[in-house]
Amino acid sequence: MNIKVVFVLTLVLALGLSFSNADAGAGARRGAVEPGLSKLQGQTFYLAYNLHPDTTFNKISSVNYQIQGGLIPWGTEVKVLRVSRKRLVFEDMNTQHKYNYEFHWKTRRAVSIVDHLGRLFVKDAKAIKAKIDQLSEIDKDGIYDGRVRIGMSRAGVKIAIGPPPEFANKQLQTARLWRYWRNRWGKMTVNFGRQGTVSEIVGYK
């Protein structure tokens, strides 16, 4: 066989093996579960803030879409049934409804999913209740309804409709504007005035 032909075939085989190994490694990384995430499976928690699920498909996005029509109240006891890299399945212990909590790729890129879930799932709801007891009546009404209202504080908004997505917001304690999504296509903003309370709500229905 021609020496040049042998050389080309050897090179092709070597490159093919190299790319194959690289693809296998990338696939393993893509399928890997973040360290610490699997430990949540089987545990029970309480919700730190209200969730607005898509009741048609029983799913919730880590983007925290403000979907109207569904509400899982803060303080609800939930049990984590299954965990994977892309989603977590939990059961509402009050209603026995099961929900898929999906990890949006922008969330996974912006923050640790373990940290993200740590803000939502807490082991003791007493501290949250104590905080709510100290809030204004406007805050309490918004939290009860799961809606944001003019005059609410940042703490009240966070419990009422959840925090805005991490990839679109920084420095929540001082930011004058919180960016949310009503769904995959519609955005909304909550603007805070100099007193630290909601002064304007844009795009909210």
Mean pLDDT of 39-52: 97
Q: Which two tokens stand for residue 173?
A: 């304690």
Residue appearing with tokens 């490159």:
15
- pLDDT of residue 205 exceeding 90: no
Residue appearing with tokens 């999906």:
102
- pLDDT of residue 187 exceeding 70: yes
- φ and ψ of 191, to 5 deg: -105, 135
Lowest mean pLDDT among 21-35, 62-76, 95-109: 21-35
Quote the pLDDT of residue 67: 93
- φ and ψ of 149, to 5 deg: -130, 155
List, as one string, the DSSP characters of 10-51: HHHHHHHHHHHHHHHHHHHHHHPPPTTTGGGTT-EEEESS-B
- pLDDT of residue 32 exceeding 80: no
Q: What is the pLDDT of residues 161-170, one digit of tens each?
A: 999 999 998 8
Distance of CA 182 to the CA centre of its chain: 14
Range among 27-31, 67-71, 104-108 with highest mean pLDDT value: 104-108
